[in-house]
Amino acid sequence: MSGLTSKQGILILGRRQTEEFLSVGEAVVAVEHAFKLKAQGRAIMPPKLYLDMLEFGGDFRAMPAYIDGIAGLKWVSGYPDNHRYNLPTVMATIILCDPETGRPLVIMSGEYITNIRTGAAGGVAVKYLARSDSTVVGMIGAGIQARTQLLAIIEVLPSIKEVKVFDLRKEVSQRYAQIMAAELKINICPVETVEAATDADIVVTTTPSREPVVKKHHIKPGTHISAIGADAKGKQELDSGLLASAKVVVDDIEQASHGGEINVPLSESQFRIEQIYGTIGEIAANLKNGRENDDEITIFDSTGLAIQDIVCAKLVYEKAKTRGTPVFAFFEPD
């Protein structure tokens, strides 16, 4: 990122621009690249810092990282009840800086990037952990993340023909089915129970639950599960017995231990760190095998990593520069 001068300004990018400059396919490639770099020791990523707003039912998270020649920070909030105020559950801002000088380069909206990079991580997991002949996806939860997860799955596994979707709010699952079926031209149908949704080759959970939603007896041999919703202490979507019987892959061992799907089973001694098979980065970098047979149950515990945000934000920034996006004179020379 060298070659900057004191007269250069800072880009300010809104959500519409981030959507224009980053596709699902590009995000999947970028996130897989980030996972590989992390597994190879070529990234710096301190743990997330949480600021709990218990009084208001939400939290803030500071997520810094240095990867692929760029340093950045995402400041993100998670408020599950924001639908009451017609606001997104997740709101975020991303700042990228020149690592040589510390100079801010861009401030951009982070909601779309957060959603799309999380979906992309699930897509990478499906690429390596799901059966290649998978045709049916079961969605538990029908919010924004269920949308990006499905888009990324279709990107890496175009053989998908059917999607079953369950949400506690029936009208939400019905709306999801209508919108996604029209967009993807595949059969998407709301179902009445979790059991019906888990009768699938790939199961994706995207809920804020603090109690197990998917039980061991729901899952048949050969299923891949992407557990997306548990991203903070106390959250849990899968029962401990299911985790103990499966091949568990995480995005980051330390982060998953404190706030991922495995955090509650670990705290209750129902699961051990030693039972983690490895990270998705190790698999993507060919340091470990992915799926090894058609009968094993695989689980991807996704907590969301700062490196995912930064590599995607870098792509957006580079495209914005080539398009001649106006800069804001944020810093002036002394």
Active site members: 74
CA atoms of 263 and 276, how far apart (whole Å): 12
- Both tokens of residue 200? 């699938």
CA atoms of 270 and 243, how far apart (whole Å): 9
Q: Buried (b) or exposed (e) across 253-283, using 16+ Cβ within 10 A?
A: eebbbbbbbbbbbbeeeebeeeebbbbbbbb
Q: In Å, how far are 126, 190, 311 from 41, measured between CA atoms?
A: 23, 43, 16
Q: In Å, how far are 9, 19, 71, 163, 201 from 198, measured between CA atoms?
A: 51, 31, 40, 10, 8
Phi, psi of 289 (to 5 degrees): -75, 155
